[in-house]
Structure 1
Amino acid sequence: MMKTIPFVAVAAALLSAPCLAQNPGPERLAEVEIRAERVGDGLHVLYGFGGNIAVSLGEQGGLIVDSQFPELVPKIRAAIRELGGDEINFGINTHWHYDHADGNQRFGPEGVWFISQTDSRERMSVDKFIDPLTRPAFDQPAYPPAALPIVTFDNRMQLHFNGERIDLLHFGPAHTAGDAAVFFRGHNAVHMGDIFTPGGYPYVDSNSGGDLDGMIAFCRAVLAELDEDAIVIPGHGAISTYADLVRFTEMLQSVRDRIAELIAAGASLEQIIAAEPTAAWDDIYGGDKVRFIDRAYSTLSR
């Protein structure tokens, strides 16, 4: 059952965007509203502009996974109040990219304590750049101290909050070098950030330690933690299933093997793109296959 908070078309268009939603600027963000979808009692997903936000609400307070943009924080808080929540006590960043973490810059000074994988905090604390390939590379400036995670973990961490165990797991480089999968064990659900993008081919940020083989290994490790009835929350796009994640992982492996075969035969990037190694999956994932092939090539040819 879905509880909907009205939102405009500009936000709806981004629900299936695979990753790195472009910062639209304050004027366009002013038009965005928030939609909420129920996962289970006390657990919802908020869609707006940027990465999907998971929200845990209960007797102990509120916890969010990812934070979108500072301009949207008042609307995110209002949406949480509509769901019966009040204060947000903790936040978890699945990774450091701005469309998942820029909201830290408002939530943090307002008292939310953030948690991330160690590498993600390190990248948030210094000036970085992102090269999405589909548009010019751009800077992501260092966050102020109040916006940085105050707790980090290397591979595994547990929280006990609102009556369930929440596991934060890192299985090595994937979308970036510092991704976290967030398991809500009481709801049989996981938020995977941009490791899993059911609406399109993923972006492997090889400039930030991302790795295609690592993404495949990460997906398999997450599947091993789940049962077939699990709910999978992607970084962007609709709430998905275990079977959706299985299919996504099969796609990654299939494309990886084809590109590796072409590299071994001496093919250039241009020749690999022309060979269409994603052809068997384009009807399902569409999107920017050239960027996916480019980033896959960059990691497999290191």
Structure 2
Amino acid sequence: EVADGRYVLFGRGGNILASIGDQGVLIVDSQFPDMVPKYQSTIQSLGGGGIDFTINTHWHYDHADGNELLGEAGSWVITQRHSRDMMTQFNTIDTVTNPLVEQEPYDPVGLPVAAFETRMEMFFNGEQIDLIHSGPAHTMGDAAVYFRDANVVHMGDVYNNAGYPFIDAANGGSIEGVIAFCEAILQEINPGTVVVPGHGPVASYDDLAEYITMLTEIRGNMMALIGQGATLEEVLASRPTANWDDKKGDPTRLVDRAYLSLTR
């Protein structure tokens, strides 16, 4: 429980943030179909009923594949406009270190019934919930979801707290965009805000600020090398992430996708 009636549910896939209250249940992200019954029972054990609203932070399968089961059960799905468009078509996700992911179009029952461009406000369970899109970042259709009164924000995969972030550069994401998006959200929130990442443990305002510092430093190191005509292999060999590797792990995926976004 990160605030009164606001819970983070960990499972397989992206972190879920749930609002449980007098008006019903709203969740942010839906993980995988096999996880839906598990978190539905968790929500019921916390005093909630059916899931009334599902907000997707973006269209990737590990955050939205639960949509179809939830839609069948009557949940209304909401996401950013570009993410909804992506859910209607066949997509590939190049994760670099794993095989290419092929994502099929979603069944209409799992598609968002509402979409927004840059901002949307909801009023549910006694508080204002801001859905914020600050331009292409992890994908072209990311949404941060800020529960104002509870003072909790779900960042989706724009903020990854389980190692270095994956940037879906082939589908419009960029390291520049991730930095800019996080900076925009930092202006919206405050030092007491609970920050829920797409993956990894719950974090703080200071953690998000450090993440921006890290990515800005890595981008600067990479830009200096790219300016000298360095290839991807040369950039990887120079270890532009060296200061952070002990904390974050293997940087291959980040550097590969950041290179693509910085050189196109």
TM-score, with length taken from structure 2: 0.99
1:247 aligns with 2:210: yes
User: Residue deviations 1:62-106, cap 9 Å, x none?
Assistant: 000000011111111100011111121000000000000000011
CA distance in 2, matches of 1:123, 1:214: 18
CA distance in 2, matches of 1:117, 1:74: 25
CA distance in 2, matches of 1:271, 1:88: 49
User: Residue deviations 1:37-70, cap 9 Å, x none?
Assistant: x011110010010000000010000000000011
**1:266 Cα offset (Å):** 1.0
User: Residue deviations 1:170-221, cap 9 Å, x none?
Assistant: 0000000000000000111100000111221101101111011010000000
CA distance in 2, matches of 1:284, 1:232: 19
Amino acid at match of 1:267: A
> Pick from 118, 121, 128: which aligns with 2:81?
118
1:161 aligns with 2:124: yes
CA distance in 2, matches of 1:129, 1:296: 18
Q: Which structure 1 residue ranges, 5 or more long, are not aligned?
A: 1-37
> Pick from 231, 246, 251: which aligns with 1:289?
251
Query: Number of matched residues?
Result: 264
CA distance in 1, matches of 2:73, 2:152: 28
**1:253 Cα offset (Å):** 0.2
Which residue of structure 2 aligns with residue 299 of structure 1? 261
> Pick from 22, 30, 39: which aligns with 1:67?
30
**C-alpha RMSD of the superposition:** 0.7
> Pick from 22, 29, 40: which aligns with 2:3?
40
1:269 aligns with 2:232: yes
**1:131 Cα offset (Å):** 1.1
Which residue of structure 2 aligns with residue 28 of structure 1? none
Amino acid at match of 1:85: G
Which residue of structure 2 aligns with residue 280 of structure 1? 243
CA distance in 2, matches of 1:284, 1:138: 27
Which residue of structure 1 aligns with residue 56 of structure 2? 93
**1:284 Cα offset (Å):** 1.8
Which residue of structure 2 aligns with residue 152 of structure 1? 115
Which residue of structure 1 aligns with residue 199 of structure 2? 236
| Displaced runs of 4 or more, over 6 A | none
CA distance in 1, matches of 2:159, 2:217: 16
Q: Which structure 2 residue ranges, 5 or more long, are not aligned?
A: none
**1:138 Cα offset (Å):** 2.3
Amino acid at match of 2:260: S
**1:244 Cα offset (Å):** 0.3
